[in-house]
Amino acid sequence: MAVVPRRSTMTLFSDSACQRSHRVRMVLAEKGVGVEIEEVVPGVVSEDLAEINPYATAPTLVDRDLALHNTMVMMEYLDERFPHPPLLPVYPVSRAHSRQYMHRIEVDWCVPAEQILRGEEPKRVDRLRKELRDSLLGVAPIFADKPFFMSEEFTLVDCCMAPLLWRLEILGVKLPNARQAKPLITYMQRLFDRPAFRASLTDTERNMRG
Ligand SMILES: N[C@@H](CCC(=O)N[C@@H](CS)C(=O)NCC(=O)O)C(=O)O
């Protein structure tokens, strides 16, 4: 049966290729919330966006008088505004852990991924690719213990992981077909098979993997 999106008056300024916009689209899809999507073209500053976001970055979420321009704030706002299904654990310590994981994913993996995609100096890009691959392989065993990122339940942390992992091919990061990588590869497939993940993909993103 088709899922009828809940009505909302929200607008998401989204870049169809950017992993941060993808995270927010994924949260919206998991919650079954429909929003107006305003496509942001990288490098082109839209006046509408500049008016509500001092940095004119994507994603930007507008809900009536509220305009949010930080991805983490947006994701948590959506989780509070649309509580079902909850995408953060209940207890403060677990919530703090989740927030810290999201921060580390951003700093340790997403920022280098962005630098790789910008194609800066080739030697540096090679080094960043290797570091990203080794770092992901380093955490691969944790996915053997639990189905999601350090959790029995799907959370916002997985909404940060999925867009990054979906981009490994275009990042030129190849995981080895070795035992060590298996739990990570299984985790990736588990995320990619989610109906909400499929629904969150833009045409550009659909073409990112062969
Ligand atoms: N702190 C912001 C950063 C967002 C960001 O850097 N977005 C990139 C695309 S992934 C962007 O819009 N870059 C264009 C620019 O900085 O002008 C967040 O966490 O949402």
pTM of the predicted model as reported, rounded to 2 decimal places? 0.94
Residues 165 and 136: their CA atoms lie apart, in Å, by 10
What is the fold of 10-86+201-205? Glutaredoxin (3.40.30)
Residues 174 and 5: their CA atoms lie apart, in Å, by 36
The residues, ordered by sequence, that sit 6+ positions from 89 with a Cβ below 8 Å of its Cβ are: 95, 97, 98, 151, 153, 155
Query: For residue 19, how far is its CA from the centre of ligand 1 (angstroms)?
Result: 10
CA-wise closest residue to 88 among 145, 34, 97, 107:
97
Query: For residue 171, how far is its CA from the centre of ligand 1 (angstroms)?
Result: 18
Beta carbon of 18 within 6 Å of any ligand 1 atom: yes
By DSSP bridging, strand 60-63 and strand 36-39 are: unpaired
Query: For residue 145, how far is its CA from the centre of ligand 1 (angstroms)?
Result: 33
For residue range 11-49, list pLDDT tens digits in order. Answer: 999 999 999 999 999 999 999 999 999 999 988 888 999
Ligand 1, atom 6, residue with closest C-alpha: 57
Beta carbon of 24 within 6 Å of any ligand 1 atom: no
Domain boundaries defined on the chain:
10-86+201-205, 92-194
For residue range 99-142, list pLDDT tens digits in order. Answer: 999 999 999 999 999 999 999 799 999 999 999 999 999 999 99
- 10-86+201-205 and 92-194 in the same fold: no
| Closest atom of ligand 1 relative to the 114 alpha carbon | 10
Helix (H) or strand (E) holding 196: helix 195-200
Q: Spelled out in words, what is the top-level CATH class assigned to the domain 92-194?
A: mainly alpha
Query: For residue 17, how far is its CA from the centre of ligand 1 (angstroms)?
Result: 12
